[in-house]
Structures are given as structure tokens and as C-alpha cells.
Structure 1
Amino acid sequence: MIGKLRGIVDSTGDDWVILDVGGVGYVVNCSTRTLAALPMKGEVASLAIETYVREDQIRLFGFMTDIEREWFRLLQTVQGVGAKVALAVLGVLKASDLANAIALQDRAAVARAPGVGPKVAARIVAELKDKAPAFASVDAGLIQLQDDIDEKRAPGAVADAVSALINLGYPQIQASGAVSAAMRSAGDGAETAVLIRMALRELSK
């Protein structure tokens, strides 16, 4: 099983690169982000490799980091997500941004990937939400707030404040982040009007 390849970039295509390793050319499937990050033809590149062995073929998938490879594996645990869709997602979202999007239940961010519709995006964020926080860089309180809003567990004043900001044109994730910051300053039991005013102050920074 191949876990890593280091060789000379021989040629590239829409979704692959050939790495020359000691005179042997390995065809490695990659996301568009990984291909864009590769050095120029003739230069040395190193890729973390995921090897798929089938009865009729062996396929290699390459990634710039081990974390990106781990997300490739995690994405494919979701029903309806295969290697092609997983690469498409990683082509538009780097690993940290994907973790944040899933942790915050940001389906729209995931749905930006080619071939990923709203239903698949919803399944990805729903089925991986318990695993994403370990990789996410966003505040844990914001993750919890977003989860509470999605599950309709958030206090009325909080939910109303987020809804008011969304009605003003702010994206849900940005609105939730501002209200989360307002909650930390105002404390539990703050009224909707107070949360909105403080959240708007946060958004204007």
C-alpha cells in the first residue's frame, strides 16, 4: 500500500498529476486545490497518498497534507459521497475551512463544490458534525450556538436576535457569530434588543 510519494512533476491534467519516482510515472488523482499548489513541471513534489485497490484497477489519490487525506476518508463515510465528490469538496474548501463549515452547519459552503447539491451537502454536515469540531478553528461556543439554533433549542431572545440580523441581510453564520460574541458580553438572560445592538456593534468592527 502506498502512503506517500515524492518525485518530479512530469505532467498534469484536469484532475491528475504524473509523478516521476525513480523513473516510474505514477498517475495520482488530485483535487483542483492540490493541483494548483503543486510546483512547476520538472520540480520535486511530495504528496500524501490514499491507495484504492479494485479488481480491475489501482487508483492513487494525492493530497498536500495528511489532514486533507483524512477529510477525504471522512467525506466518503457519508451516504452518496464517493471519491469524485470528496475531491470536488476539497477542491473548493481547504481542510480547515471544511471543518469550520461542517462544525457550523454551513450547508451553503459545502454545496459550492461541483456536483454537490443541497441534499448531499445537508447529509455531509449532518453526518460529520460530531467529528468536525476536533479539526475546526472556530469558537466552541459558536458551534454550540449554531447547533442549538438548528435544533431549535436556543433561547427565544437568541434565536430572535439571529433571525433579525439575517433579515437585515447578514449570512446566518456571520449573524450567529456576532450574537455569540454579544452573549459573552451581555451574559445569560439578555433581551433580544440588547443582543441585536451588541451584535451589530460586533459586525461593524
Structure 2
Amino acid sequence: MIASLRGRVLRVEEEWAVIDVAGVGYQVFVHARTAAALQGERQEVSLHVHTVVREDAISLYGFVNAEELACFRYLLGVERIGPKAALAILSRSEWQVLVEAIVAENYDLLAAVPGIGAKTARRIVLELKGRVDGLAEPGWASVSLPSTGIGERAVEALTALGFSPSDARRAVALELAGPGTTAADPEGGRTIEAVVTGSLRRLGPNARGVGGA
């Protein structure tokens, strides 16, 4: 079983990439965010790999970190969730956001993924809520936000109000992963004021900043 690959990127398409490892090209299925990250990459890349062996094919699924791979495998354990659906879910948002959605029973985030729907979203939460506890305290400081800049400005606004950078980034990431956002419009047409307001609601009335009592 192939567990990881390290090599040069030869080709990237919407759903897969070809990685050259010592002269052998491996086709690896990836989600949209990973495909975008690999586009134009000139250095060697490393991918964590899940291998699926069938009678007629061996399929490789690649992820940029072990936590994302773990989420993928958890999703495969849910009834009627195959590799394609699992990749679509991970394409929606960072793995930290997905784990938070499951723990918080945020069905809307999962149901917004094309092909999932409300019924499947509830099944995912029901089957995984007690199983992802080991991933439930992720490093939110490393979560990437849309390149448009509104997310980072919202984080700055929240930290100026006294919230820790990690809490602020977590709240903004969850807000920007909610219904109404797409890959083409990651803010869902919202202004920075709307993003900050929504993030404050997620932080809750009892949330405290770094200088809170």
C-alpha cells in the first residue's frame, strides 16, 4: 500500500494531479483546494496518500497533511460516503472547520456541499461526532483564509477587540465556510462588517479576549 509520495508535479487537473517520483508518474486524486495549491508548484511536494485497491484499478488519494487524510478516512466510514463525496466535503473548507462543524452539529455547512444534502449531513454528524474528538482541538492559527483579504481584515478587527488571534481566526474561518459561500465567491457577497458581526456571534456572549476577565 502506498502511504505517501514525494516528487515533482507534472500535471494538475481539477480532480487529480500527476506526481513524478523517480521517473514514475503517479496519478493522485485530490480535492479542489489541493489542486489549486499544486498549480504552478515547481518544488518537490509531499502528499499523504490513501490507497484504494479494486479488481480493476488502484486509486490514490492525496492530502497535504495527516489530519486531512484522517478526516477523509473518517468520512469513508460513513454509510454511502465514497471517495468522491469525501473529497467534495474536504474541498469545501479546511479540515479544522469540518471537525468543528461535526462537533458543533453544524449541519448547514455539510449540507451546503453539492451532492450531500441535509439527510446525509445529519448522518455524517451522527456517525462521526464521537469519533473525531482526537482532532477537535486543531491549531487554528494555521488555518488559511480566502485570498481576497476580507478574512484577514476581520481577524485583525477581532484581535483589536481583545480576542486571541487563534480564537479570532477560528471564528472567521467558520463564518466564511457557512452557507452562501462558494469557491468563486468565498465571502458570499458579504462585507467585512458582516463577516465580523457573524464571527462575533460564533465567539458567543461568554467569549473573552486576551485581556478579558
CA positional deviation for 1:94 = 1.2
Q: Report how far residue 177 of structure 1 moved.
A: 5.1
Structure with more helix by fraction: 1
Q: How far does residue 41 in structure 1 lie from its aligned partner after superposition? A: 4.7
Where 1:55 maps in the other structure, the secondary structure is coil
Counterpart residue number, 1:116? 116
Instruction: Confirm or deny: 8 A CA contact 1:10 1:42 kept in the other structure.
Output: no
- The Cα shift of 1:174 comes to 6.9
Q: After the TM superposition, which residues 22-37 of structure 1 pair with which residues of structure 2 at under 5 Å, given as runs? A: 22-37=22-37
Query: What secondary structure is seen at the aligned counterpart in 2 of 1:97?
Result: helix
User: Is the CA contact 1:100–1:133 (under 8 Å) kept in the aligned structure 2?
Assistant: no
- Give the match for residue 15 of structure 2: 15
Deviation at 1:37, TM superposition (A): 2.1
Task: Say whether the 8 Å CA contact 2:48–2:69 is kept in structure 1.
Answer: yes
Conserved 8 A contact 1:12-1:18: yes
State how far apart, in whole Å, the 2-side matches of 1:42 and 1:178 are. 43
Moved more, 45-54 or 109-118: 109-118
Corresponding residue number in structure 2 for 1:54: 54
Cα distance in structure 2, aligned partners of 1:123 and 1:93: 19
Q: State the match for 2:132 in structure 1.
A: 132
Give 2:72's aligned residue. 72
Cα RMSD of the aligned pairs, angstroms, is 2.5
Q: Are 1:11 and 1:41, in contact at CA under 8 Å, matched by a contact in 2?
A: no
TM score, norm. by length of structure 1: 0.67
Residues 122-161 of structure 1 mapped to structure 2, 5 A cutoff: 122-137=122-137
Find the aligned partners of 2:13 and 2:86 in 1 and give their Cα distance.
18
Q: Does structure 1 residue 178 correspond to structure 2 residue 204?
A: yes
Consecutive unaligned residues of structure 2, counting only runs of 5 or more, are 139-166, 168-196, 209-213
Q: TM-score, normalised by structure 2?
A: 0.65
The CA distance in 2 between the partners of 1:43 and 1:17, in whole Å, is 15
8 Å contact kept, 2:12–2:39: no
- Aligned equivalents of 1:4, 1:99: Cα separation in 2: 23
1:100–1:132 CA contact under 8 A, matched in 2: no
CA distance in 2, matches of 1:174, 1:123: 29
> Partner of 1:134: helix, strand, or coil?
helix
Equivalent AA in structure 1 for residue 8 of structure 2: I
Contact kept in structure 1, 2:12 and 2:38, CA below 8 Å: no
**Cα distance in 2 between the residues matched to 1:9 and 1:43:** 8
Aligned-partner residue type, residue 43 of structure 1: Q
Deviation track 1:8-28 (CA, whole Å, cap 9, x = no partner) reads 100011100000111111000
Is 1:91 equivalent to 2:91 in the alignment?
yes
Deviation for aligned residue 1:84: 0.6
Once residues 120 and 63 of structure 2 are traced to their aligned partners in structure 1, the CA distance between those partners, rounded to angstroms, is 23
Separation in 2, partners of 1:2, 1:68 = 17
* Partner SS state of residue 109, structure 1: helix
| Gaps in structure 1 of 5+ consecutive residues | 140-169, 185-205
